[in-house]
Amino acid sequence: MKRTRSIFLLLLTFMLIFTGCIPRQEQQNIPDRAKYKNADLPIEERINDLFSYMTLEEKVAQMAQVANYAASPSDVTDKGLGSILSGGSDGPYSGFKPENWLEFCNEYQKAALESRLGIPILYGIDAVHGHAKAVGATVFPHNIGLGAANDPGLMEKIGRITAVEVSASGINWNFSPCVAVARDIRWGRTYESFGETPDIVSPLGAAYIRGLQAGGLGKRDSVAACVKHYFGDGAAEWGTGIDGGIDQGDSKATDEEMRTIHLAPYIEAVKQNPATIMISFSGIRGEEMHGNKKWIDILRNELGFDGLIVSDWAGHKQLNGSNILAQSINAGIDMIMIPDTFDSFILEVSQNVRDGIISEERINEAVRRILKLKFEMGLFENPLADGTLLSSVGTDESMKTAREAVRKSLVLLKNNKNALPLSEDDPVAVIGTKSKDMGVMCGGWTVYWGGYSMHEKLRGWLDDNSQKIKAQNMFVKGTTILDSLTERLGEDKISYSDNGENTGPAKKSIVVIGEVPYVEFTGDSNDLGISEEDVARVKNARSKGTQVIAVIISGRPLIITEIEPYCDAIVAAWLPGSMAGPGITDALYGDHDFTGKLSFTWPRSMKDIPFKESTKGMYPRGYGLQMKSE
Ligand code: BGC
Ligand code: BGC
């Protein structure tokens, strides 16, 4: 019997040599009652058992995170891929309703269960200000606004709601929170940062992680958090990034500065046991983070993080030289957001192991972490979302929290001659297309990577996104500023105009100005002035003899010296999201006084940027008026 078997194996080997396909490792059959499938056993034992069946290629495939457009469900079955993500603009082809997501992600999950080992996948998405790629979901203010609100309790609630809405859609991993300490507001990701100092960033990041993972990772409505981008993304300097901007650039800061300012939020974050951390596209004094073993070791050994480390989108390509995947993996990255060429990834990394460029121990360590997370999340037992949470998406209750977040995020910069609060008895003029543009109020990372805008388009790709949104009916649920004011006062009392040339009988004008959506490097800008059209709006409103209340919708402080003399009141509203209208209206009418304080210094001119401790600016960090004190 034994003899026949060895003859057979010998023959098989010959056959395979002659057909040019040598099996690298024998695949063992997996018994139905394999120990790793037994939920009663300790996780460690289950991992050990699963490991005993895994070939090298299967281990490497677990380390692959692939974009949904690059891998079909059957690729997941065939290769046993570890994770799928939907990037900024990607998702189900049937539409972005939560039920489309649910069906789409479940299809991938089912495909994973049909793979040889039946290991479930992690499915990742950027729900960075609520689940903003699901139609009808609650879209919260971007982080810069939440930094001005500076309310950890609220932050935790936002994390919780986001986790519920994301899980409802069959997604189990959220690439959030971003704990960047942005030091140069010319950076296109400034709005993803809670503030320019760690004392604001650290507690808010920690609170949000608690919200996302509340009740433990095994809970059906919990998702794995992903603290990003480790680290120093907010330290990169102008001129070192993409196209001479900041994003993905380099920092000259000393190690000490890097520690006190940029490492600090990770120290707090790690205490909350976040499931994962994402590596930054940036570098420190020429050393790219994607190959930076020194700082990744600090994260492991000094901060004590033992969760999964994932790369950013093709982040290994920041590196030079040969074997850049191996460089990243050897630096300590466990999973690679490839995002597309998974076949060559599996081939190359497996070959690297055979050639001794990556040790087997390193692969085992990475894969153990990935499997551990999947076991801890209960994915082997409960891999599929069942739709029971769908009714929890975008509820009135969640919208109430969003409204509170908007209201608390508003910073009153100026209020002369009791311009605010407004009175319901008086008619008002509402000026500017941004007042009715939900896409503008939400900013980037909303439906599409770079967001959308229905009324004010300054960029080609924004136009393109907006058309797709229109065609596919994928708008964000919420209420614009114009709609809220109209609801509150009745149409008769509102005079709307695009440019401020018609203020009707109003004595006060609400002029909504600011930025149009952008994302990552597309938002890097060396000119943070107000656009000509917006300046004209303010000046027109003033020339009609009305008091001007400027509401600025923006992802960062803007240079407002040109308009400030024409404004009686100025409100920084950041990127408020779904409840922009109600939250702003609540404050303008004095239902709640303003409580938001600047988490970034507001510069007087571009010369005040980047931020230094000595910068005074136009309004200092911590500044924010109240109406009652006026
Ligand atoms: C961004 C990350 C994001 C990832 C996935 C990258 O370009 O830097 O913040 O999580 O894409 O969309
Ligand atoms: C983003 C992805 C996005 C892609 C578009 C990446 O940097 O993070 O989410 O879809 O770029 O090219």
Tell me the pTM: 0.95
Q: Is 290 in the pocket of ligand 1 (CB under 6 A)?
A: no
Q: Tens digit of pLDDT for each residue in 12-32?
A: 444 444 443 434 567 889 999
Q: Is 87 in the pocket of ligand 1 (CB under 6 A)?
A: yes
Q: Specify the fold of 395-629.
A: Rossmann fold (3.40.50)
Measured by CA distance, the residue closest to atom 2 of ligand 1 is 312
Give the residue numbers marked as catalytic: 312, 520
Measured by CA distance, the residue closest to atom 5 of ligand 2 is 88
Measured by CA distance, the residue closest to atom 6 of ligand 2 is 313
Q: What interhelical angle do 152-168 and 198-212 show, nearest 10? A: 40
Mean pLDDT of 379-399: 97
Q: Is 91 in the pocket of ligand 1 (CB under 6 A)?
A: no
Residues listed for the chain: 630
Query: Per-residue confidence at 1, pLDDT binned at 50, 70, 90?
Result: very low
Atom of ligand 1 nearest to the CA of 86: 12
Q: Is 566 in the pocket of ligand 2 (CB under 6 A)?
A: no
Q: What is the pLDDT of residue 628?
A: 85
For residue 514, how far is its CA from the centre of ligand 1 (angstroms)? 25
Atom of ligand 1 nearest to the CA of 175: 10
Q: What is the pLDDT of residue 592?
A: 97
Nearest to 329 by CA among 304, 292, 275: 292
Q: What is the pLDDT of residue 16?
A: 44
More confident residue, 612 or 272: 272
For residue 125, how far is its CA from the centre of ligand 2 (angstroms)? 11
Q: Tens digit of pLDDT for each residue in 445-468?
A: 999 999 999 998 878 889 999 999
| 411: region left, alpha or beta (phi > 0 left; psi from -120 to 50 alpha) | beta
DSSP state of 181: B
Q: Tens digit of pLDDT for each residue in 563-593?
A: 999 999 999 999 999 999 999 999 999 999 9
**Residues 85, 66: contact at Cβ < 8 Å?**
yes
Show Cβ contacts of residue 370 under 8 Å, excluding neighbours closer than 6 positions: 62, 63, 82, 122, 308, 334, 335
Half-sphere CA count of 119, side-chain side, radius 13 A: 32
3-class secondary structure, 230: strand
Within a 10 A sphere around the Cβ of 460, how many other Cβ atoms? Answer: 8
3-class secondary structure, 192: helix
- Among all chains, which residue has been given the structure tokens 């891998």? 71
Q: Is 175 in the pocket of ligand 1 (CB under 6 A)?
A: yes
What DSSP string describes 61-79? HHTEEEETTT--HHHHHHH
**Residues 213, 174: contact at Cβ < 8 Å?**
no
Please give the sequence-ordered ranges of beta strands (E in DSSP) within 204-280, or none if there are none.
224-230, 250-251, 276-279
Q: Is 228 in the pocket of ligand 1 (CB under 6 A)?
A: yes
Tokens standing for residue 591: 């239902």
Tokens standing for residue 450: 């770079």
Tokens standing for residue 112: 């994973």
How far is the C-alpha of 112 from the C-alpha of 225, rounded, in Å? Answer: 22
Measured by CA distance, the residue closest to atom 8 of ligand 1 is 312
Which residue ranges does the chain devote to CATH 3.40.50.1700?
395-629
**Residues 281, 232: contact at Cβ < 8 Å?**
no
Atom of ligand 1 nearest to the CA of 339: 5
Percentage of residues in the chain with pLDDT exceeding 90?
Answer: 92
**Residues 378, 46: contact at Cβ < 8 Å?**
no
Whether the predicted pLDDT of 596 surpasses 80: yes
Q: What is the pLDDT of residue 24?
A: 54
How far is the C-alpha of 523 from the C-alpha of 181, rounded, in Å? Answer: 17
* Separation of first and last alpha carbons in the chain: 95
Q: Is 192 in the pocket of ligand 1 (CB under 6 A)?
A: no
- Among all chains, which residue has been given the structure tokens 């080609």? 460
Q: Is 126 in the pocket of ligand 1 (CB under 6 A)?
A: yes
Whether the predicted pLDDT of 166 surpasses 90: yes
**Residues 524, 241: contact at Cβ < 8 Å?**
yes
**Residues in a beta bridge with 335:** 310
Q: What is the pLDDT of residue 11?
A: 52
Bond into 92 cis (ω within 30): no
Which residue ranges does the chain devote to CATH 3.20.20.300?
55-390
**Residues 420, 628: contact at Cβ < 8 Å?**
no
Question: Pocket of ligand 2, candidates 313, 518, 519: which has the most ligand atoms within 8 Å of its Cβ, to mutate?
Answer: 313
For residue 313, how far is its CA from the centre of ligand 1 (angstroms)? 6
Q: Tens digit of pLDDT for each residue in 356-369?
A: 999 999 999 999 99
How far is the C-alpha of 592 from the C-alpha of 401, rounded, in Å? Answer: 14
Atom of ligand 2 nearest to the CA of 67: 10
Q: Is 313 in the pocket of ligand 2 (CB under 6 A)?
A: yes
For residue 190, how far is its CA from the centre of ligand 1 (angstroms)? 14
Q: Tens digit of pLDDT for each residue in 250-267?
A: 999 999 999 999 999 999
Instruction: Enter the CATH code of domain 55-390.
Output: 3.20.20.300
Query: Per-residue confidence at 473, pLDDT binned at 50, 70, 90?
Result: confident
Q: Tens digit of pLDDT for each residue in 86-129?
A: 999 999 999 999 999 999 999 999 999 999 999 999 999 999 99
Nearest to 599 by CA among 248, 143, 168, 241: 143
Within a 10 A sphere around the Cβ of 312, how many other Cβ atoms? Answer: 24
- Among all chains, which residue has been given the structure tokens 């993409």? 242
Tokens standing for residue 396: 């009135």
Atom of ligand 2 nearest to the CA of 86: 9
